[in-house]
């Protein structure tokens, strides 16, 4: 289990430059983070840039469920298929 996680881009953010994502991934790795928190849509890129880190993915929802304040959501299967190691499923078990 990672001892420190870096957060790349919040899943509540709609638009983020690709260069910022890559910069934060490299910074997390060079700072000694053993894993990162990122949206499922960024997993393929993240795996290419820092393949040895653990990938923790928030914004997990079943298909067809309201996104609430999350701009970047994924189903559990989509996140796992894209390379997620751990899923963050917070609000949905209570309110979905």
Instruction: List, for residues 35-69, the tens digit of each pLDDT value.
Output: 999 988 889 999 999 999 999 998 888 776 665 66
Tens of pLDDT, residues 2-33 = 578 988 876 566 666 678 889 989 999 999 99
Q: Is the pLDDT of residue 77 over 60?
A: yes
Q: What is the pTM of this model?
A: 0.80
d(CA 77, CA 60): 9
- How far is it, in rounded angstroms, from Cα 42 to Cα 61? 16
pLDDT at 92: 63
Domains and CATH numbers, the chain: 5-95 (3.20.20.70)
Structure tokens at 93: 């078990």
């Amino acid at each position: 289990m990672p001892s420190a996680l870096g957060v790349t881009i919040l899943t509540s953010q709609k638009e983020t430059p690709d260069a910022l994502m890559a910069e934060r991934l490299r910074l997390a790795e060079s700072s000694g983070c053993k894993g990162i928190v990122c949206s499922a849509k960024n997993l393929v890129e993240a795996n290419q840039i820092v393949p040895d880190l653990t990938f923790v993915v928030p914004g997990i929802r079943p298909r067809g469920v309201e996104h609430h304040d999350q701009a970047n959501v994924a189903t559990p299967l989509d996140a796992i298929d894209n390379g997620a190691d751990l899923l963050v499923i917070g609000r949905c078990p209570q309110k979905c």
